[in-house]
């Protein structure tokens, strides 16, 4: 029987479209040490309830900032039993799921809107202003 290889390629923004199909995103790379975690922004932007493991690596600032805005925005679990319990609660209680989805999306939007404003301010100061002079 011939062997088939399956390749998954993600480009920026495509994963967000897939996240829109699911209510919950478990960020897999965050459960294994040495992978430096995985980006939670597309899952949060799509309105998923976001669950991560303990190994979030260089995404720790984003996770911390979102959790400061709303502790429900990203649920970080350490053990398999915690993950199972969290998933069970999310699948069995629509209000809890909706609250976590909304928290993730709102926290991400609050953080990213500041970034967009800063970029426009920098462009205005360094590019547009000088072009008019």
Give the start-to-end residue ranges of the domains of the chain.
14-132
State how far the Cα of 102 lies from the Cα of 44, in Å rounded to an integer.
9
Which residue in 112, 114, 102 sits closest to 74, CA to CA? 102
Give Cβ neighbours of residue 38 (< 8 Å, ≥ 6 apart). Answer: 27, 28, 29, 30, 59
Can you give the pLDDT at residue 12?
58
Quickly tell me which residue has 């915690």 as its tokens. Answer: 82
The pLDDT, as a whole number, for residue 131 is 62
Q: What is the pLDDT of residue 52?
A: 94
Range 64-69 contact pairs with CB under 8 angstroms and sequence separation of 24 or more: 65/107, 65/111, 66/40, 66/104, 66/107, 66/108, 66/111, 67/107, 69/106, 69/107, 69/110, 69/111
Looking at residue 4, its pLDDT comes to: 55
According to CATH, the topology of domain 14-132 is: Rossmann fold (3.40.50)
pLDDT in tens, the chain (133 residues): 555 555 555 555 677 788 888 999 999 888 888 876 678 988 999 999 999 999 988 888 999 999 999 999 999 999 999 999 999 999 999 999 999 999 999 999 998 887 767 777 777 777 766 666 5
- Does the model's pTM come out above 0.85? no
């Amino acid at each position: 029987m011939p062997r088939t290889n399956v390749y998954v390629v993600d480009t920026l923004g495509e994963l967000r479209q897939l996240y829109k199909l699911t209510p919950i995103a478990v960020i897999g790379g965050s459960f294994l040490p040495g992978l430096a975690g995985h980006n939670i922004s597309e899952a949060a932007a799509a309105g998923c309830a976001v669950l991560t493991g303990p190994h979030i690596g260089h995404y720790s600032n984003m996770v911390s900032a979102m959790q400061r805005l709303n502790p429900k925005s990203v649920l970080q679990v350490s053990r398999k039993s915690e993950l199972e319990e969290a998933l069970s609660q999310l699948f069995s209680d629509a209000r809890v799921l909706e609250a976590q989805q909304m928290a993730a999306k709102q926290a991400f939007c609050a953080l990213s809107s500041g970034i967009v404003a800063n970029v426009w301010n920098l462009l205005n100061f360094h590019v547009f202003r000088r072009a008019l002079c």
